[in-house]
Structure 1
């Protein structure tokens, strides 16, 4: 399944808060009622352009409708964790176990 760029529940909440039906919101955005339902249920991803139109039609900031990023960026190219507690612990362990350290 494709990762969604929007929060389906937030779209539904904002639409209901605005007092609109799916049909009325779909008409304002210029998409079908079926597509609006699929966006709200999470079966389809809203394009960035449609998400912006939805936010405009609901008079709400687009950030309210966007998927919250809780995962760190892809580090497949090699990310370094700098200054972390784990890094400091690893350095202390390696110093204790190194030959000639007297520990």
Structure 2
């Protein structure tokens, strides 16, 4: 990080709102999902807010835990 200013990624591999929607539909908190996936709750929060990209591996893990196809997390208004 240069200059101390944080910027959002130019292109996200996932749709933040879709991840949030699917998590809420599954009845999980951010902390519970993050723990199951093996990432920090802070990272999951940043993924859901669009401040960080979900790596392809993490997106696959998130989709598996949420019983949702990965493609549903890659676009708005996921249907899991």
TM-score tier (shorter)? 0.7 to 0.9
Alpha-carbon contact 2:18-2:75 (below 8 Å) kept: no
Task: Determine if the alignment matches structure 1 residue 50 to structure 2 residue 58.
Answer: yes
Alpha-carbon contact 2:15-2:74 (below 8 Å) kept: yes
The structure, 1 or 2, with the larger RCO (C-alpha pairs under 8 Å, 6+ apart) is 2
| Higher CA-based Rg | 1
In structure 2, the residue matched to 1:36 is 44
Which of these residues, 13, 20, 28, is aligned with residue 21 of structure 2?
13
In structure 2, the residue matched to 1:27 is 35
**5+ long unaligned stretches in structure 1:** 69-103
* TM-score normalised over the length of structure 2: 0.81
